[in-house]
A and B are shown apart, each in its own frame.
Chain A
């Protein structure tokens, strides 16, 4: 079980993601300029401010050489998790539907909202139960999830809205309280909350660890 966590210039949460992943498996950093992922079972595109978030969050990072390899990995069914800036990168790259717009409040917001599991279609939530409530922090300026209404309907119909903010706790104005979505095949998931910052009760919550455990479990037979 080997996680590869991408490091772009300007990534900030990559080491935290590596630490979180290393609680359930091995975890290495993947340099943005690499074209070859090596032997990797799960890719994490982490949070932070790749390329300073200049122009638009994720707009420049999605052209990094490593992204071609990640797209290839995803096409082959490999699990990819985009967290916060990583979610933005995956949307910009067209690997996930929709876009992330500036928060309604226009400010950076760092908060610990409740998040409800809506779907177990992704390997990152396969081991969780629909309806479970997780406490996972968010911290971002551009986290308002947006997609055209018909696409939102389709996402819901296809069970691809993976996480929603609990009622009244939407921190950014995301449409339909969406906090995380996955692609059609379910193997690529993006979310604004930071599960890597919720892996230890000592630092506030261990609920985020469940996502890492879930994907490890989902892959276990393969890895064995």
Chain B
């Protein structure tokens, strides 16, 4: 095509052509477009770079237009989507950065390393913006634990998360796990990280200053995950997975701990112009994105990159996904100081290139040009695709297997407490250090959200943040718009129960193949519901991640838009717990709760088909109820607060009893015509169980929020009456025994 072919060793530069492009996952049109942008055919290095940056994983080609509809502005927003992690202001000159990301396909291939490197990756995103990671949360989905594969994935993924988080010294303070058949072949492993930084020290990733030096920090580069981004993250899993295995990445939390401390100290001393993590597509994406954001060019010499394996080709070096590496831009006069500090932290640091004003990404190998592409073409010119959504005529997901028949309410309650989706998560979270950092005020199972203390400030001696991560994929499968709205409301409800007000939200959209009309519809509806709920709460989406093509065998996973939220509370000492604690306290059901059995956990146990829709929640009324609960908790007038979620009111009551080791007597009235099961086990947003002195509970009714005093704390049994008839009478010890079933999966 053009005469300005790059100078290079000719044998390395045989042109891969269209066939090569297709092998790397590009379409014919995309290949033609690359030729147009370059004015010639790309060589292997260039094509490898394009194939990754133009992959779904990096270019968001099927989701970017949808994401643009999400609210991303707000009073407290410091940094929104587009940076490695978004951030909100938490007062006192501090900002909290946070993001959730998926590592689904690597975890399906090798769960321990997949989950571990997932944590490592999200930590880097957070310290890349200059924030010290202070908490991790995990969100997991597996098939039913009756399958050996699911148990293996669960066991190893949990071990991997713990291994990385514990070793690097960041507490894992919360998370969630669901077991549903559609995740059997395609598990989900999402990890969220929260970081803390002085507001003015947050750094962006835009490179600047032609002549500045590009320094690679951290581990040596090996053949890890070569093709990982395009092969593992963007293609459906299926036959031949074994062949993808050699690209497994091994996490080294020790290396990352040093890298983390080193980067934070470099920033604290003001030695860096820009900082960026190396994630998917390695050097290619990090350098290209930094240059693109800064409107500059970049030159990298692959011969200077420290290698772990001999004989690596330039293209391999450019796209390797070796872990525990960062890229930074440094002014030449600061270089020695930077290298010295890195040596002290035993972190390898190598000048591998320079910032230029060419607007081009030039790859050199020992000085010879082996690739030369316009940065704009790489980063911005990937074609975006419109989705072709079509709602399904009927529910496409099969009914879950029936596990419970002819049960009375007491038996149903025990079955629910012991079912894998509701049983105590203790066997998981005891494998995570939830304490390191000395900030953890509310640990797992003590409250609905984790609470982390912030440094004291003049107007507040014990300020804190709260965080939660949520999504019930089965409900999203029933109704992607309502289900996603519910996930956001559930997250905010958890925050309200500890007394926290939401500040911002991050999300990870785990969906199937967006080229299918059904998945396109799920995605469109879910993003619509996400935006609606955020607007109702008045909070921005600060960032997130999209993981598509989550299918294997029988079809797509349940659409799973995982929502992570961060909120603030003025006084950590008043953080609300969920435990019933004082005999004699009244128990109130608060909020516009309209329980329905369709799509509930009980319906799942009974093997009922998924309905094609959920009742529309009155979002404004739910938000108002959250505000009322939050105010009561903050005022310190109630003893406990817990939201009603999976398993309905009876399970919520049982959880409050279990947390406090005390019983309760409750009397319920039902909807006319509705039986006890609906009142006890029906689900829906907007319900809270509060305990405390009766007058404090009654005072809650001053607003428009419905409040009903339904019982009293005390004794050693949970007794529930429905319409005057006793339907549950169980010792708390019996509830505890039922709740412990997950232990068996980890022995």
Contact = CB atoms under 8 A, between A and B. Distances in A.
Interface of A: 9-13, 15-16, 19-20, 48-49, 51-54, 107-111, 137, 139, 141, 194, 196-197, 199-200, 202-204
For chain A, what secondary structure do more than half of its interface residues adopt (helix, strand, loop), or is it mixed?
A: mixed
A9 B257 CA distance: 8
B159 A107 contact: yes
Given A10-B258, A49-B254, A202-B441, 10 more contacts: A9-B254, A9-B346, A12-B436, A15-B437, A52-B167, A109-B430, A110-B430, A197-B436, A202-B573, A204-B440
Interface in B153-170: 159, 162-163, 166-169
A110 B431 contact: yes
A48 B431 CA distance: 15
A107 B257 contact: no
Interface string B471-495: 0000000000000000000000000
Contacts of B573: 202
B433 interface: yes
Interface string B441-456: 1010000000001000
B438 A203 contact: yes
Nearest to A16: B438
A139 B435 CA distance: 9
A49 B254 CA distance: 8
B162 A108 contact: yes
A12 B168 contact: yes
Contact of A110 (B163, B252, B435, B462): B435
B283 interface: no
Given A49-B167, A107-B431, A202-B462, A13 B252 contact: no
Nearest to A137: B435
A19 B166 CA distance: 20
B253 A52 contact: yes
25 contacts: A9-B254, A9-B346, A10-B254, A10-B258, A13-B169, A13-B436, A16-B436, A16-B437, A19-B438, A20-B438, A49-B254, A53-B167, A107-B159, A107-B431, A108-B166, A110-B429, A110-B431, A111-B430, A137-B435, A139-B435, A141-B166, A194-B435, A197-B435, A203-B440, A204-B440
Query: Which of A53, A199, A203 gathers the greatest number of chain B CB atoms within 10 Å?
Result: A203
Interface string B153-195: 0000001001100111100000000000000000000000000
B261 to A, nearest CB: 8
Interface string B243-269: 000000000111101100000000000
B526 to A, nearest CB: 34
Nearest to B452: A203
A217 B197 CA distance: 36
Contacts of A203: 435, 438-441, 453
Contacts of A197: 435-436, 438
A108 B435 contact: no
A52 B432 CA distance: 16
Contacts of B462: 202
B434 interface: yes
A48 B438 contact: no
B345 interface: yes
B453 A202 contact: yes
Contacts of B252: 52
Nearest to A198: B435
B158 to A, nearest CB: 9
B136 to A, nearest CB: 13
Contacts of A11: 169
A49 B164 CA distance: 11
A108 B257 contact: no
Nearest to B172: A110
Contacts of A202: 441, 453, 462, 572-573
B430 to A, nearest CB: 5
Contacts of B163: 108
B436 to A, nearest CB: 5
B262 to A, nearest CB: 10
A30 B93 CA distance: 29
The 8 tightest CB contacts between A and B, nearest first, are A12-B169, A52-B254, A49-B167, A16-B438, A139-B433, A197-B435, A108-B431, A10-B254
B443 A204 contact: yes
A50 to B, nearest CB: 9
Given A52-B252, A107-B159, A108-B162, A12 B435 contact: no
Interface string B335-348: 00000000001100
Given A52-B253, A108-B166, A9 B431 contact: no
Interface in B387-442: 429-441
A109 B432 CA distance: 7
Contacts of B453: 202-203
A72 B386 CA distance: 71
B253 A49 contact: yes
A197 to B, nearest CB: 5
Contacts of B429: 110
A140 to B, nearest CB: 9
B111 to A, nearest CB: 15
B549 to A, nearest CB: 33
Query: Which of B169, B253, B429 gathers the greatest number of chain A CB atoms within 10 Å?
Result: B169
B117 to A, nearest CB: 15
Nearest to A109: B430
A151 B39 CA distance: 79
B160 to A, nearest CB: 11
A138 to B, nearest CB: 10
A108 B116 CA distance: 14
Nearest to B170: A12
Contacts of B258: 9-10
B465 to A, nearest CB: 14
Contacts of A141: 166
Contacts of B746: 107
A124 to B, nearest CB: 19
Nearest to B575: A202
A199 B438 CA distance: 9
A139 to B, nearest CB: 5
Contacts of B432: 108, 110
Contacts of A109: 430-431
A194 B440 CA distance: 14
A31 to B, nearest CB: 9
Contacts of B255: 52
B346 A108 contact: no
A13 B168 CA distance: 10
A199 to B, nearest CB: 8
Query: Which of A19, A49, A110, A137 gathers the greatest number of chain B CB atoms within 10 Å?
Result: A110
Contacts of A10: 167, 254, 257-258
A167 to B, nearest CB: 19
